Amino acid sequence: MRAVVQRCRRAQVTVEGQVVGAIERGLVVLLGAGKGDGDADLAYVVDKVVNLRIFPDDEGKMNRSVLELGGGVLLVSQFTLYGDTRKGRRPAFVDALEPGPAEALYERAVAAVRTAGVTQVATGVFRADMQVELVNDGPVTILVDSRKQF
């Protein structure tokens, strides 16, 4: 499972002209599931995301998590995180998990973030054409991979 984690001042997802999810200060998490991903991958990524110390403390050092901040998390499904561009010019998505199992993992990830204690959790719409807007704070962007490929 892969995640692109972006610290934000605010963010929202729009589908067909309607805002379907929005947060204030917190994290935007683009989340992709790969073939073979399961509960251990999900637990690893969720634990990393909610406990990443990427918010400033009173001295300005990145030393607080979204949980400590009381911030929100906006989770957006993104199969393109498994796009392979090593051959040719069009990404191949053969390593992405099929939509049915990927949606189930995504929904479980949303529930796990809530269970971890994040009080404001918002989402996009799985398989929808979404417009994601955010004010990246810093900018701070972190890559997380349950298989530790990066």
Spatial distance between the Cα atoms of 113 and 128, rounded to a whole number of angstroms = 21
Residue pair 75/108 in contact (Cβ under 8 Å)? The answer is no
Q: Which of 80, 115, 119, 131 is catalytic?
A: 80
Catalytic residue flag (residue 119): no
Distance CA 6, CA 48 (A): 13
Among 6, 14, 78, 123, the one annotated catalytic: 78
The verdict on whether omega for the bond into residue 139 sits within 30 degrees of 0, i.e. cis, is yes
126 is catalytic: no
Cβ proximity of 46 and 116 under 8 Å? yes
Q: Verify whether residue 79 is a known catalytic residue.
A: yes
Catalogue the active-site residues.
78-80
